[in-house]
Structure 1
C-alpha cells in the first residue's frame, strides 16, 4: 500500500530538480586505453586490461602507451589487476559491450552489482551506486577519459548527452564505494570511468545502424595513421527515441533526438612521451512530460504539458604523459567544457569548466608506490529566473584547488599491502575539505584474497542549493498531505552557508577461485552519512486575494539547510564462470538496507530531499553468453528489481536477448529484444518535480555492424 507523504516530503520530492549539488573533482585518468591480447573469459580480459603494476614493467618489453597509461579508477590511480584491488571493482569489457542488447550506456550498467539504473522520463535515466537514486544522483562521479561529466549546474550527470559509439569504448570501470581520497568531492558512493580506445587501435571504419519499434540510431567511426607516431579517430552518433508511455500505453511525449561528433588524436613524439588531444560536440532536443503548476491560487492544480528542452555542449582536452625513468612518470591534463541546456522548470543553464591537473607517480623502492597530484578548477554557471525558480544570483564563479598523496605499501611481497592516502580540497564556499582513506589487501593463498577499507568522503552543495527559491508544487485540499481546506504552496529556499554532506564508509570483501573456470567476488559495506540535504520548516504565509476578503492559500517556507543523518548497509555478490565450451554465465545479487535518523521536531525519520526509498533493497541478475556456432551467438540477460517507494513502483523482472549472425569477418547482423516479459513496466517515479508516471515498453530492434 502507498504510504501518505507529509507536506515536507511532498515539497522535497516535487521541487528538487533544481537543488543541484556541485562536486568538482580534480581527477587525472588514464584516458588512453590499455592494450591487451584477447582473453578466453571476461575475468581474464578484465585482468589483462588492467595490466600489471607499473614498477614491474620493463621499458622495452611493452608498447609505450602501456607504460605511460599507469592510472585507472581501480582504487590506486594506476594500472592494477582487478583481483588485487582493495575495493569493489567491476570492469565492463569491450566483449560485454559488443554482445549486450543495450543501446545506451546506462543500460550497459544495469547488471553491474550494486549499480542502480532506471529509466524515468523521455531520454532520462536515474543511475547511482548503493543508494540515493534520482535523476540527478549527486554522489556518483562519472568520467570519460579523465574528464568529469558531472555538471555543476545540475549536480549530477545528464546521461542522455553521453552519446559515444560503442565500438570506440575500450572498457567501463566501475568502483563501488568512496574514491574521494584520489578523485575528490562527489566520489562518495562510487566512481564510473568510461575509457575509449587509443586511436591506433581503431585504424579502420566502423558503421552501426539500429532500427527498432521505439528508437533509431546510427554511428560511424573512422581512424587512420598520419605517420608512424601519429594516429587519429573521428566519430558521429545520431539517436532518435519516441519516449516512454503512460499507464494505458499512450504516448507521453513526441521525441528525444540528439547527435554527437568528435575526434581524438594520439601522438608519440619520443619513446618517453605520449600526447592525447580530443574534442567533442553534441546537441539534442526533447520533450519532457510535466505537470505545470497553475499560478493562480483561485484555480489551484496542474496542467499536463510536454515541456520542450534541449542542449548544446562541447569539450576539448589535452594530456601529456612523460616517462622520466622506470621509477618515475608524470602527467599533465587540461580540459575545457561548455554546456547550454534547457530543462523542465527553468529557461536555461550555461556552465563552463576549466580544469588543470598534474599527477606524479613514483616508485622509490620495492616497498613504496607513491602517487601525488595537484589540481585547479574554475566553474562558471549562469541561469535564468522563472516564475517557478527564482535565483538571488544569476551568475556565479566557483574556484577550487586540490592536492592528494597516496602510498601503496608492500608489507609482505605479493601477500600483504597497505594503501593510505588523502585528498585536501579548498573551495570558496565551504572552505577546506579533507578526505582520507586506508585500505588493506591480503592474499591468503592461491585463489583467495581478502580486503578492507575505511574512507571519508564529502558532497559539496551546488550553487542552486545556496541561492535559489523553488516553487513547483501545490498541496491541494483533500490530499493526504494537506488536511487544510486551502491549497498549500511549498517554497524551498537556498542557504548561502550550506555545509558539505559527509560519509564515513567501512568496506570489506573477498575474492575466491572456485572450481576450474569459476570465481566468486563478494563485497560488504556500512555507510554512515551526516548533514544530508533535508528540509527545515521556517513558517507559513497567507496568500490574500484583492477580490476575496480572506486567504485563498498558504505559502509553506522551507530552508534547504536541514542536516539529516542516515545509515546504509548491504553487500554485493558476483559469481561467474564457464558452463561449457562457448558458454559463459554471470550471476549477481545486491542487497541494500537503510535507516534515517529522527527529525528532532516530529521524532519521525527525516524526509530526505533525495530519499532512499528510490533505491531497491534487492537486485538479481543473470547474464548468459552462448556461442551456438562459429558465427551465431545468443546473449541474454535476466534481472529482477524489487519495489521502490513503498510499492508505488512495483517490483519487476525483465528479460533482454540478442541473437547475432556473423556471415563473414567485419559484418554482424543482430535481432534484439528488450523487456520481453511484459508489454510495459514502471521503473521509477520522478521525485524531483511533478510529472506523470512513465512506462518503459517492450521493444524489438534489428542492428547491423559493418567494419571495413
Structure 2
C-alpha cells in the first residue's frame, strides 16, 4: 500500500511542513534561469527555431508539418519526474503507462498489435537514435535524462522518413538538451513522492569559449497495485552519470556528450512462465548502458554549413528467465546545407550505422542467429524552393538499405503557403516504411505445436503512404492554434499466420488498412499572468487481412488506440515568485483489454523561496487511480501521486 494512504505518514507530514513554509516565508524575487522561456509571449513562441522538420533552423510558424514544441519552461512547470511523463504535454502523442518504467507511446495510433509493442515512432536524444533493432521500439526506462537539462522537445506527428530514415512512420520525437554554455554553476535537486524519490547534482563551468558539465542522478520507485489492491512487482531503481562539453574555434563548433547508467526493475507479471514444461519464475530485470556522442559543425563562408556526428551506444538487458541481450551500435552521419542557390535551399547527407547484437537464448525465447551483425546505410537530399514570396515547395527523398529487405525509397513533397503574416497553410504527401527488426525475422519460441512462433522470409517492410494538410497561425493578439488532418494508407502490416503444416505459427505481412484523423491545439493569453492551452485528437483506424491470411486477432489492432484524446492546461503566475499549473487530460477507451476511458487531473504549485531555491508541490491523477493499458486482472492501476521537490541553483 502506498505510504500516502497511511494516516499521519511521513510523506503527509512533510507536505504539511512545506505548505506551512510556503505561506510563512518572506517573498523574494525569482532568479532568471538561463535558457528558460518563462517570459516568452505567444508571438515569440511562434518564432522558436525548430530543426526536426527540415534538418535546419526555421521558425515554428513556418514549419510545414504537424509539430508541437515542449519548452524547458513547460517541463519545469509540469511537475513531471520522467521523460514519458513530460511527453504527456504533447497533444499529438498518446502516452499509456503499463508499469513503473514501461510505457506505450505513439503518435497517430499504431500502438502495437496482438503480437508487437509500439514500433513506428522514432526517438532521438541530441541526434542519437534510441530505438532498438531488437523490435524497432524504445526501452523508455533507459532514456532517463535530467529534465532540468532539456532545452526543448520537438514532437512531429506524421512521417519523417526522408530526413530521419526508416521507422519514422507515425512520428518523430527529437529531444535536445542544453549546451554546456547554458548550464554553468551548480544545480541540486531532491524530490520525495508517494511512489518514490529522485535526487540529482549538476556542476558546470566555462573557460573562454569552452564549457563543460557533469551530472549525477538517481531514482527509486516503489511497487504499484492492481485494481483489486494486490501488489504489482514493478519496483524500479536506476542511477546515471553524464558529461557534456561544448567549445568553439573560429567558424567551428564542437561538442561531446557521454552517459552511463545502471538499473534494476522487478517484472510485474505474476506467477509462472506460461510455457509448457517451464517452472521458471520471473526474476529481476537488470539494465546497463553507456553512450558517447561527438559532433562538429563548420559555418562556411558562403553561408552554408557542414556537420559531422558520430556516436557509440552500448546497452545490456537481462530479463530472466527469457533472454539477455548485449547490443553495440556505431553510427556516423554527415550533413551539408548548401548556400542559397537562387530560389533553392538544398540540404543533403549520408548515414552509416553498424550494430552487433548478442542474445543469450533460453527455452522460452530464442533469436537465430544469437550473435548477429547488421549494417544500415542511407543517403538523402531535400530542396526547399521559393516559388514566390508566399509559396514554397519542399521535395526530398532518402534511399536507405537495411539487412532484411534491401533498399527502401522514402520520398516526400510539402507545399507551404503564407497568405498573411502570422498565418501558414501546408499540405504534404510522403512514403515511409518500418523495416523488419530481429523479432520479426530471427525470433523463435520453442514449445509444443502449435505453440511455436517464428520469424522468417514471409516478413516484408511495413509501408505507409501519408497525406496531410494543416494550418498554423495567430488570428488575434495572444491567440495561436494549429490544425492538421491526415490520411494514412498502410500495407504489408505484420500478422501471425498458421503455417500449412498446422503445427507452427510464423510472422508474415498480410494486413493492410487506413487511418484518418485530426489534431488540433492552441494557446490563449487570457491576462499577462494567465495562459490557457488546449489540445484534441480524433482517430479512426480500419484494418483488414489480405488474401491468403488466416490470422485471427490482428485486424483488431485498432483496439489498442483511443478514438480521441483531449487536454486543457492552465498556467497562472500570482507574481514573480509563485505559480500554479493545473492540467486535465481525457483519454478514450481501448477496446482491447478492455480499458475504460479516463480523466486525470494534475496540478503543481511552485514557490521561489529565494533567488537560488525553488520549492514545488505537485500531484498527478488527483481525482483517483486508473488503468491505461493491458489486460484485465494483470494491469497496473496508475496511482494518485503527490510529490515535493526542491531545486537549488547557483
TM value normalised by structure 2: 0.90
Is 1:511 the counterpart of 2:492? The answer is no
Structure 1 residues 324, 387: closer, same or farther in 2, change over 3 A?
Answer: same
Is 1:182 the counterpart of 2:181? The answer is no
Counterparts of 2:585 and 2:276, CA distance in 1:
46
- Deviation, 1:166, is 1.2
Counterparts of 2:335 and 2:66, CA distance in 1:
24
Which is worse superposed, 359-368 or 456-465? Answer: 359-368
In the alignment, which residue of structure 2 is the partner of 1:80? 58
- Deviation, 1:218, is 0.9
- Deviation, 1:572, is 0.6
- Deviation, 1:279, is 0.8
- CA deviation profile, 1:250-308 (whole Å, cap 9, x unmatched): 321162000111101111122x00110111001100001225335446xxxx9895531
In the alignment, which residue of structure 1 is the partner of 2:460? 499
Unaligned runs of 5+ in 2: 1-33
- CA deviation profile, 1:363-413 (whole Å, cap 9, x unmatched): 233411100101111111111211111232101111121100000111112
Equivalent pair of 1:500/1:531 in contact (CA under 8 Å): yes
- CA deviation profile, 1:208-266 (whole Å, cap 9, x unmatched): 111011121111111101x2111101111101111321122232116200011110111
Counterparts of 1:283 and 1:78, CA distance in 2:
34
Counterparts of 2:276 and 2:530, CA distance in 1:
63
Instruction: Please give the secondary structure, in 1, of the residue aligned with 2:387.
Output: strand
Instruction: Please give the secondary structure, in 1, of the residue aligned with 2:132.
Output: coil
Structure 1 residues 42, 608: closer, same or farther in 2, change over 3 A?
Answer: farther
- Deviation, 1:324, is 1.6
In the alignment, which residue of structure 2 is the partner of 1:683? 628
- CA deviation profile, 1:666-708 (whole Å, cap 9, x unmatched): 2110111110111x2111006xxx9921111111111101001
In the alignment, which residue of structure 1 is the partner of 2:198? 217
Counterparts of 1:458 and 1:344, CA distance in 2:
33
In the alignment, which residue of structure 1 is the partner of 2:639? 697
- CA deviation profile, 1:419-452 (whole Å, cap 9, x unmatched): 0000011233211111000001000123322100
**Partner of residue 120 from structure 1, selected from 92, 98, 112:** 98
Counterparts of 1:282 and 1:148, CA distance in 2:
17
**Partner of residue 378 from structure 2, selected from 393, 402, 410:** 402
Counterparts of 1:295 and 1:533, CA distance in 2:
23
In the alignment, which residue of structure 2 is the partner of 1:286? 265
Equivalent pair of 2:345/2:383 in contact (CA under 8 Å): yes
- Deviation, 1:602, is 7.7
Counterparts of 1:421 and 1:506, CA distance in 2:
15
Counterparts of 2:641 and 2:281, CA distance in 1:
25
- After superposition, residues 2-21 of structure 1 pair within 5 angstroms as none
Structure 1 residues 395, 661: closer, same or farther in 2, change over 3 A?
Answer: same
Instruction: Please give the secondary structure, in 2, of the residue aligned with 1:292.
Output: coil
Which is worse superposed, 243-252 or 445-454? Answer: 243-252
- Deviation, 1:152, is 1.5
- CA deviation profile, 1:49-84 (whole Å, cap 9, x unmatched): 417xxxxxxxxxxxxxxxxxxxx21x1001111110
- Deviation, 1:599, is 4.9
Equivalent pair of 2:83/2:143 in contact (CA under 8 Å): yes
- After superposition, residues 268-417 of structure 1 pair within 5 angstroms as 268-270=248-250, 272-290=251-269, 291-296=271-276, 307-343=283-319, 346-413=322-389, 415-417=390-392
Which is worse superposed, 426-435 or 200-209? Answer: 426-435
Counterparts of 1:645 and 1:288, CA distance in 2:
25
Is 1:145 the counterpart of 2:126? The answer is yes
Equivalent pair of 1:429/1:497 in contact (CA under 8 Å): no
Is 1:454 the counterpart of 2:429? The answer is yes
Equivalent pair of 1:252/1:306 in contact (CA under 8 Å): no
Equivalent pair of 1:505/1:526 in contact (CA under 8 Å): yes
- After superposition, residues 574-613 of structure 1 pair within 5 angstroms as 574-600=521-547, 607-608=553-554, 611-613=557-559
Is 1:234 the counterpart of 2:234? The answer is no
Counterparts of 1:612 and 1:380, CA distance in 2:
34
Instruction: Please give the secondary structure, in 2, of the residue aligned with 1:107.
Output: helix
Instruction: Please give the secondary structure, in 2, of the residue aligned with 1:121.
Output: coil
- CA deviation profile, 1:107-153 (whole Å, cap 9, x unmatched): 11113122010110231111111112148421111001101111112
Structure 1 residues 469, 646: closer, same or farther in 2, change over 3 A?
Answer: closer
Instruction: Please give the secondary structure, in 2, of the residue aligned with 1:325.
Output: coil
Counterparts of 1:42 and 1:572, CA distance in 2:
23
Counterparts of 2:546 and 2:348, CA distance in 1:
42
Structure 1 residues 471, 622: closer, same or farther in 2, change over 3 A?
Answer: farther
Counterparts of 2:218 and 2:161, CA distance in 1:
35
Counterparts of 1:358 and 1:583, CA distance in 2:
44
Is 1:97 the counterpart of 2:75? The answer is yes
- After superposition, residues 191-206 of structure 1 pair within 5 angstroms as 191-206=172-187
TM value normalised by structure 1: 0.83
Equivalent pair of 2:469/2:485 in contact (CA under 8 Å): yes
Unaligned runs of 5+ in 1: 1-34, 52-71, 475-487, 542-555
- Deviation, 1:38, is 4.7
Equivalent pair of 2:305/2:336 in contact (CA under 8 Å): yes
In the alignment, which residue of structure 1 is the partner of 2:398? 423
- Deviation, 1:623, is 0.7
Equivalent pair of 1:136/1:157 in contact (CA under 8 Å): no
Counterparts of 1:691 and 1:218, CA distance in 2:
34
- CA deviation profile, 1:472-512 (whole Å, cap 9, x unmatched): 9x9xxxxxxxxxxxxx8532111146321111000000123
Structure 1 residues 294, 143: closer, same or farther in 2, change over 3 A?
Answer: closer
Structure 1 residues 121, 229: closer, same or farther in 2, change over 3 A?
Answer: same
Structure 1 residues 89, 136: closer, same or farther in 2, change over 3 A?
Answer: same
- Deviation, 1:464, is 2.5
- CA deviation profile, 1:509-540 (whole Å, cap 9, x unmatched): 01232332011210110001100111121156
In the alignment, which residue of structure 1 is the partner of 2:603? 657
- CA deviation profile, 1:332-378 (whole Å, cap 9, x unmatched): 11111000002366220111111101100012334111001011111
Is 1:133 the counterpart of 2:94? The answer is no
Counterparts of 1:317 and 1:497, CA distance in 2:
37
**Partner of residue 518 from structure 2, selected from 563, 567, 571:** 571
Instruction: Please give the secondary structure, in 2, of the residue aligned with 1:288.
Output: coil
In the alignment, which residue of structure 2 is the partner of 1:50? 49
Which is worse superposed, 303-312 or 499-508? Answer: 303-312
Equivalent pair of 1:461/1:498 in contact (CA under 8 Å): yes
Equivalent pair of 2:484/2:520 in contact (CA under 8 Å): yes
- After superposition, residues 476-487 of structure 1 pair within 5 angstroms as none
Equivalent pair of 2:356/2:372 in contact (CA under 8 Å): yes
Counterparts of 2:452 and 2:515, CA distance in 1:
29
Which is worse superposed, 139-148 or 159-168? Answer: 159-168
